[in-house]
Amino acid sequence: MSNAEAEPVAVRCGALVDDRQQTEVPRVDVISARDVPLGGPRAMTVRRTLPHRERTLIGAWCFADHYGPDYVAATGGMDLPPHPHTGLQTVTWLFAGEAEHRDSLGSHALVRPGEMNLMTSGYGIAHAEVSTPRTTVVHGVQLWVALPEEHRNTERDFRHHVPEPLRVDGAEIRVFLGSIAGETSPVRTFTPLLGAEVILAPGVTVTLAVETAFEHGVLVDSGKVRVADTLLHPAELGYVHPGIDALTLVNESDGPARTILLGGTPFDEEIVMWWNFVGRSHGDIVRAREDWEASTERFGVVEGYPGGRLPAPALPNAVVRPRRNPPRR
């Protein structure tokens, strides 16, 4: 997915390394989503929780958009013309519908619920995403992972992975990146990372061993889910501080609850995000925008999309200012 805001704000993200002792009770901060219209006359509105004023990263996860269920008859579905990315990986995970992906590596793939599309931009890639004609409902998440300095100009890559669902104490878990509940995704990450869908039957409590060094995010799609003494509602992202060795999720609703569980070691580099680019400086962003606008080799060409490419928005007037996670309590 593209960040198709008309006037995207530049965000500098700085990770906070939490050095407190291990705690028994998870400390949870609630991050509320903001609605972001993706542009166009019938366009979708997404619920964005990362980056947020109060938290810009969870591990290397730097962007989280949650959307739907949206009826294609009303919104026209998803239609993102070719657009660029730098310095990141995009994770597409659907709850309903089907999307067709084309990128400048030559990849052409479908993604369906329970399947992950992971695209690594490295120095530069372009892709298009369109919901297929048989899709009636668009519902899912679009997540981005910042690449660490050492690998940010790595080669372009595209992976499709279908995790086997696990059943643990009334929970159904699909691990798409990293490891949890004894299952490990075979897909490579460039920093220690976790990404999983966790569906809880009504009233279910599940406790999962987690990496003590990880910080976590619990993004609720449906139902009400309690983490420690914090009740999370749909579209909220619960940030769980590092230092715990187990995470307990309780479905306090009458129906099933669906969550996306994110995790990773705190990302100890400052990054700058603007539009669809992740860089290290304002200059990186300016160059990436110029390269896209000039159709240089950097991003390549997406074949097979019936239409033109997405132009970059105007750059902000000001140089990007530092932006960090909140101070430790």
Phi, psi angles (nearest 5°) of residue 145: -120, 125
- The single residue among 2, 56, 121, 131 that binds Mn ion, judged by CB under 5 A, is 2
CB of 304 to Mn ion, least distance (A): 16
Quick one: 2 or 75, whose CB is closer to Mn ion?
2
Quick one: 92 or 251, whose CB is closer to Mn ion?
92
CB of 86 to Mn ion, least distance (A): 11
Quick one: 2 or 89, whose CB is closer to Mn ion?
2
Q: Give yes or no for residue 131 binding Mn ion (CB under 5 A).
A: no
Quick one: 181 or 302, whose CB is closer to Mn ion?
302
How far apart (Å, rounded) are the C-alpha atoms in residues 159 and 300? Answer: 18
CB of 130 to Mn ion, least distance (A): 12
Strand segments, DSSP code E, in 162-256 are 166-168, 171-177, 179-180, 183-184, 193-200, 205-209, 215-222, 225-227, 230-232, 237-240, 246-251
Burial bucket for residue 216 (CB in 10 Å: 0-12, 13-18, 19+): buried
Quick one: 2 or 131, whose CB is closer to Mn ion?
2
How far apart (Å, rounded) are the C-alpha atoms in residues 305 and 315? Answer: 26
Which residue's CB atom is positioned nearest to Mn ion? 2
Q: Give yes or no for residue 117 binding Mn ion (CB under 5 A).
A: no
Of 1-9, 68-76, 100-108, 191-199, which segment contacts Mn ion by CB under 5 A? Answer: 1-9
How far apart (Å, rounded) are the C-alpha atoms in residues 90 and 60? Answer: 12
How far apart (Å, rounded) are the C-alpha atoms in residues 52 and 31? Answer: 8
Interacting residues with Mn ion (CB under 5 A): 2
